[in-house]
Amino acid sequence: MFYFEGVGAPHFNSLNVTEPDFFKNMQELIGAHSLDDWKTYLRWHAVHASAAMLPTAFVNENFDFYSKTLTGTKELRPRWSAAWVPRTRRSARWSVRSMSIRPSARKQRAHAGHGWEHLRKKRSVRTSRACLDGRRHQSAGAGEAEGHLEPDRLYRQVARLFGASDRTRGCFRQFAARESNDMQRRLDKIGKPLDKREWPYPPMTINATYDPTQNNVTFPAGILQPPFYDNKADDALNFGAIGAVIGHELTHGFDDEGSQFDAEGNLRDWWSASDKKQFEERTSCIKDEYANFVAVDDVKLNGKLTLGENTADNGGLRIAYMALLNTFAGKEPVPIDGLTAEQRFFLDGPTPGAGTAPTPSSACWQRSIRTHRTGIE
């Protein structure tokens, strides 16, 4: 409890320890090393975590091992690109949100809702579980003018966020102040009811997630744009892209992770023994198939570690395809550029997940820790 007292946490009566074994082993390690050793260890972690905000010597040393040695990255990006932009975006994410949302976002959101309903209906077929909560599928607030800040007001708000009254404060001190403010914001939540309206990330984020503890899916404005979504494109292309992404997140609510939480997000396994056995049997083929895919050189994917994400990829694509067929209502759309709607669906399907091929070092490293697959040749 000394830690919580030290950071100024309010009083609480219970604590959810998600990884009990970690703390048991940690207690043994604490007793096995001197206080000076721990000070050195923690000081090193502080420097490593802040390297991007420190003088060039720290940046270069950090890059040399964590990027060049571990991942095979050959060139260090300019500091503004590698550090300042992403850290500022993360730190001031809510303050600058209105600058990243285009006026057309409302149309994008409304049009996306059409496809969402088809996807949601398809996923809820033949399941006893309450349908996934879709209240966030439209990225609540995405495209709204609410909270828009003029440049001068924006700067003042960001300055308060960083604890800086002017632009002369050092970079590291600014970000340290920001981390302190964010820590206090999270501590202030202790003892208060969960705010289910709070988003896990700002609207300009290009990502999508499923949260089993709240049983909801989140699709921010950032992903509701090309190549994932385009309200000027035909349904086939959109279902093949953003439809597959939505289907992917929906599938997580019904996989081995989602099975551990009920419709209200409570930790309660709602699968029967037969459900679990059938899931393992049916997904074993996916595990074996991906284990034979080559990421780079002679490095193959870890089929077991990436099973959940690979299952969601396949499930999401299937759901999106079924939903697309459902929109036809018995009438086949007119071919576009000589391709049927079914063919156009698969034109966009692979695009969202495409990326640069990993280096051999990066592939080996990612294979052992990532639940998402690395690049496939």
Active site (catalytic) residues: 249, 313
143, 108 contact by CB (below 8 A):
yes
Q: Which two tokens stand for residue 271?
A: 């699968």
Phi, psi of 218 (to 5 degrees): -125, 125
Q: Up-side HSE of residue 283: CA atoms within 13 Å toward CB?
A: 23
Phi, psi of 300 (to 5 degrees): -100, 160
DSSP summary character for residue 133: B
Give the residue among 221, 217, 200, 207 at the shortest CA–CA distance from 107: 221
Measured between alpha carbons, how far is residue 312 from residues 56, 83, 131, 295, 316 in Å? Answer: 42, 32, 17, 19, 6
